[in-house]
Amino acid sequence: MKEQKANQYMELLEIPPGYVNIMGYVDESEVNGPGCRAVIWVQGCLRECPGCFNPASWSFEINDLVSIDSLVHRILSNPKNTGVTFSGGEPFWQASALASVAKQVRAEGLNVMSFTGFTLEQLRSEYAPAGAHELLEQLDILIDGPYVQHLALHSPDCPVASSNQKVHVFNPALTDKISWASDQIEIHIMKDGSRIVTGYYGQLQLDES
């Protein structure tokens, strides 16, 4: 297990400065945070939680390297996006790069939220992943805690996936915008005909057919 984790850390180091290794991306999502949002699923997670929605995101191998500048441009080029959500995978393993993305889109008036398997206390500690404090400073909302299958929720009134998770609203302007629910799904048809099915109820699927 230690050797496997060491290999995964080495794969993180293969990401060039100024780039993010992502699993997927969609615009105009309404089930991954308040309003209409761009969603970025990063590649790589050490937890491998039973019942995880996105097991394809566990590997730290390079999947799709996207430069920070091109990612920001893509987000801002769709005027319907009013916010950005980081999901995964574990966003905080690529915290420094995502902090740069967040800072640039917030400067253009968008809000930013992130999911994480870490707790807020862990992210504020000296043992947090590199860049974690920097990313926290750029977030308007954080949903923290690992997904726990036996605590799963599928509720029309709750924005978290399992009852151990917490919603932290750092931007008071969004306090009354926590309106998405854990039983919502959404299907995006991509230009190449593939589909992304996203939302809490069911697993994210990248379908080539």
Q: Which two tokens stand for residue 78?
A: 């769709």
Proportion of the chain above pLDDT 70, given as a percent: 81
pLDDT range class, residue 100, cuts 50, 70, 90: very high
For the segment 107-133, the average pLDDT, to the nearest whole number, is 97
pTM of the model: 0.84
* Nearest-10 crossing angle of helices 68-76, 95-107: 40
Does pLDDT of 202 surpass 80? no
How would residue 158 be classed by pLDDT, with cut points 50, 70 and 90?
Answer: confident
Mean pLDDT value across the chain = 85
pLDDT of 52 reads: 79
Q: Is the pLDDT of residue 58 over 70?
A: yes
Average pLDDT of span 30-48: 92
Half-sphere exposure of 114 (CA within 13 A, CB side): 27
Task: Give the 3-state DSSP-derived string for the chain, with helices as H, strands as E and coil as C.
Answer: CHHHHHHHHHHHHCCCCCEEEEEEEEEEECCCCCCCEEEEEECCCCCCCCCCCCHHHCCCCCCEEEEHHHHHHHHHCCCCCCEEEEECCCHHHHHHHHHHHHHHHHHCCCEEEEECCCCHHHHHCCCCCCCHHHHHCCCCEEEECCCCHHHECCCCCCCCCECCCEEEECCHHHHHHCCCCCCCEEEEECCCCCEEEEECCCCCEEECC
* Mean pLDDT in residue range 149-161: 81
85: pLDDT strictly greater than 50:
yes
Of 33-37, 181-185, 201-205, least confident by mean pLDDT is: 201-205
The larger pLDDT score, comparing residue 189 to residue 146, is at: 146
Q: Which of 10-14, 45-49, 192-196 has the highest mean pLDDT?
A: 45-49
Position 101 pLDDT exceeds 80: yes
Give the mean model confidence (pLDDT) for residues 53-78. 94
Among 89-93, 155-159, 170-174, 196-200, which stretch is predicted with the lowest mean pLDDT?
196-200
Q: Which of 46-60, 92-106, 117-131 has the lowest mean pLDDT?
A: 46-60
77 phi and psi, to 5 degrees? -75, -10
